[in-house]
Structure 1
Amino acid sequence: CRTEQRGQGHPITEHTGHLPYPPTRHDNDLRICTFNARTLASHENQAIFEEAIRGIRYDRDIKEHRTRVLLRAAEERKSLKKAKQSLSKNRTPMDATLGRTGDPITSRSGIEDRIQEFYTDLFRSEIHSVNRKKTQLMKNVWCTGPAVSLHGDDVVETDAYVYLGRELRCNGSIDSELLRRKRAAWGAFANIREVTSQLQDAKLRASLFDSHVLPALCYAAETWPLTKTTVSFIRRAHRALERALIGTTLFMQQKKNQSCADIRRISLLSDPIVHITRAKHRWAGHVLRRDDDRWSTRVTQQFPHPNLFRPRGRPPARWRDSIEEYAKMPYSTGRSTRSSSQRAPYQHWMTRARDRSNWKNCDPRGFA
C-alpha cells in the first residue's frame, strides 16, 4: 500500500469514524482500493473492510448521478428518453438461445438458422388470421341489419374504440378523449418533473415542457371541433400543469392575487389553443392538397344536399368552423396593411388551401 509506505497510517483506520457525514461511494473508493492480501489476512481488518462497504451510500450517489445526467441532457437539448435508457441497470446479455428442443444454441450458424425459422413462422399464411377476441364492430344509427358473424361467432358491437392513440366514438363526442389527453399530459409531465424541478432557466424549462407535455395534451387535436367546452377544458388542464411546473397551487395563486397572465409571464409556456389552431391549419392544407381521393378529403369537401333543411336551433360546431372564422378575411395576407391596394378578391378557404404559399399566409393572426 502506497499510503503505508509513506508512513501515514492505515487509510481505513485513519479516517473511520471522523467523517461529518456517512461515507459515500467516492469517499470509500480510495480506502477500498488500498487493501491487499496482507491487509485482509487478519479477521480484524476484514471486519473493518466489511463495515466500510456496508457504510457506502450507493442510493444517494445513484440518485445524484441520475439527476446530473438528466440535467446535462436537458441543457444540451438532447433526448431525455435516451438519457434514461442509458441509466438502466437491468441490462442482461442473452448468453444462449433455446432451440425447438429446448437445448441452448451456442454456435453462430445455429442462431442464424433459428432466426430464419422465426421469420418463416412469422410470415406464414395462417399467422395472418383474424383474432376474434380483439375484433369488434361499430355501427351508426343508419346501419341496420342482422348481426355480423366471423367463423360462426357473432362479432361484438361497440360504440367506441382506440385507433392510433385516439379514441373514436360513434356519436362523434370527444369528451372521453379529452380526459385521456389530460391523463397522458400528466404522465408526460411526471417523466420530466425530476428535471424541471431542478432547472433554473425559465426558457429552457418552458422549451422542455412544450416539447414533451404539450404534444401529449394536444395529440390528434387536428381533428377536433373547437367548441367553447373543448377550449375551456384544454385551458384548465394546461393551467393546472403550468402551476405544477412552477411549483405553485391554485390556493397560493389566489392568495397572492395572481392572474393567469401573471402565471404565464413566469412560466413562459406556449398557448395550447394556438398550438391546436396551427395544427388544424396545417392539417387542412394537407387534406385538401391530396389527389388520391381519400375518404377524409371527401368528407371535408362534402356539402349538404340543397333540398335538405337543418332542424331548429343552433347547429353543433363543425370541424371547419374555426378555420372559416379567419379564412373569410378578404385580404391577401393578415400580416400586410389593410389598404385597398393590397386587397384581394374573396376566395373560399378550400380554394386557398390547395395553394401552399397562399394557405401559409392566409392566417390573419400569423399562426401559420
Structure 2
Amino acid sequence: MEEQLNTLNIKSKVVGLKMHKGKTKFMTNYENDDTIQIENVSIEKVQKYKYLGKSTCMKDLTKEEVDIRIRAGWSCLGRNREIFLDNNMPLCLKKQVYDQCILPTMTYGCQTWSLTKIIGNKLKVAQRAMEREILGIKIKDKIPCKIIRQQTHIKDVVLFAERQEWNWAGHVARMSDNRWTKRATEWQPRIGKRSRGRQPLRWSDSIAKVKGRLWHREAGDRNRWRLDAEGYILQWMDEAS
C-alpha cells in the first residue's frame, strides 16, 4: 500500500497536483501495526473516512449511509419548502424540482449500496412521507400510497437506486484500462479464512443472483445490458415485496 501511495504521489506531481499529507488517510481490513510514510510524513490509519460526502469503511455502512442520505433529502426539501408548499405552484413543477434536487440527494453514492429489503423499505417510507408533505396531506388521512404516487408522478427512489447500481456495474465491467475500480471489484482474497455465519451482502451480489457470477462478461454488450435492466429491477422488487 505504501508503494502504491508513493506512486500516486509521484504521478500526481507530474500533472501538477499535490497530495495533502494531512488529509490523506489509509485503512486496512485486518489488524496490524503497519505504518505508511510518504516523503517521511506518517499517514494516519483510520477505521472510517468521509470523502466527497460519502462515508468509506471496510465494513458495510449502507444502512448508516442511507440514514445520512434521508436526512440530507429532508434538508433539501426544507430549503425548497416555499416551492413545495405553494398551492399556486403546478404539481408538475414540484415533481421536476423533486426529481432534479431531492432524489439525487437521497441517492448520492447509491451505485455501490448493498440494498436489502429493510434498507429499501426505509427509503420508500421516507419518500412517501415527503410526498404527503408536498401534497399537504397527513398519514391519518389514510390515503393509499398508490393514489398518492398517481398524483405526484415522482420517480420511485428504490427503482432509481437499482437502475443506477445496474448502470454502474456495467460501466465497471466494461473498463479496459486496468483501473483500480475494476481491480478492486474483481479482487479475490488469497489468504485468510471465511468467517462464521452468513456473509455480508456485497453490492454486486444482487446482480450476480440475476446474471450469474460471470455477469461482467455479459455487461460487455452495452445495448443488451441496458435491455436487461428492467428484468433485474422487476426481480429485485418482487423479492423485496
TM-score grouping bracket, smaller chain normalisation? 0.7 to 0.9
Aligned residue among 97, 109, 120 for 1:220? 109
Alignment root-mean-square deviation, CA: 3.1
1:7-156 map, 5 Å: 131=20, 134-142=22-30, 144-148=32-36, 155-156=43-44
Contact persistence 2:62–2:115 (CA under 8 A) = no
SS at match of 2:56: strand
Partner of 2:139: 253
Deviation of 1:153 (Å):
6.8
Contact persistence 2:218–2:225 (CA under 8 A) = yes
Aligned residue among 46, 49, 52 for 1:161? 49
| Distance across 2 between alignment mates of 1:234 and 1:304 | 33
Query: Aligned letter for 1:317?
Result: L
1:125-144 Cα shifts (integer Å, max 9, x gaps): xx977655x43533224262
Partner of 1:190: 78
Aligned residue among 154, 157, 179 for 1:272? 157
1:5-36 Cα shifts (integer Å, max 9, x gaps): xxxxxxxxxxxxxxxxxxxxxxxxxxxxxxxx
| Distance across 2 between alignment mates of 1:266 and 1:161 | 40
Aligned residue among 217, 221, 225 for 1:359? 225
Aligned residue among 157, 167, 179 for 1:294? 179
| Distance across 1 between alignment mates of 2:201 and 2:181 | 18
Over 3 Å counting, the alpha-carbon distance change for 1:130 and 1:312 in structure 2 is: closer
Structure 2 portions without partners, runs of 5+: 1-15, 235-241
Structure 1 portions without partners, runs of 5+: 1-126, 329-346
Over 3 Å counting, the alpha-carbon distance change for 1:140 and 1:246 in structure 2 is: same
SS at match of 2:223: helix
Contact persistence 2:62–2:114 (CA under 8 A) = no
SS at match of 2:143: coil
1:210 aligns with 2:99: yes
TM-score (norm 1): 0.52
Over 3 Å counting, the alpha-carbon distance change for 1:274 and 1:314 in structure 2 is: same
Max radius of gyration: which structure?
Answer: 1
Contact persistence 1:327–1:363 (CA under 8 A) = no
SS at match of 1:354: coil
Deviation of 1:358 (Å):
1.5
Structure 1 stretch displaced more, 135-144 or 355-364: 135-144
Aligned residue among 68, 89, 100 for 1:180? 68
Query: Aligned letter for 2:115?
Result: L
Q: How many residues align?
A: 218
Higher relative contact order (CA 8 A, sep 6+): 2
Greater helix content: 2
Over 3 Å counting, the alpha-carbon distance change for 1:321 and 1:243 in structure 2 is: same
Query: Aligned letter for 1:314?
Result: R
Deviation of 1:361 (Å):
1.3
Over 3 Å counting, the alpha-carbon distance change for 1:312 and 1:136 in structure 2 is: same
Query: Equivalent pairs: percent with the same residue?
Result: 27
Contact persistence 2:113–2:203 (CA under 8 A) = yes
| Distance across 1 between alignment mates of 2:29 and 2:211 | 34
SS at match of 2:228: coil
Deviation of 1:282 (Å):
1.0
Deviation of 1:367 (Å):
6.2
Deviation of 1:270 (Å):
1.3
Query: Aligned letter for 2:80?
Result: I
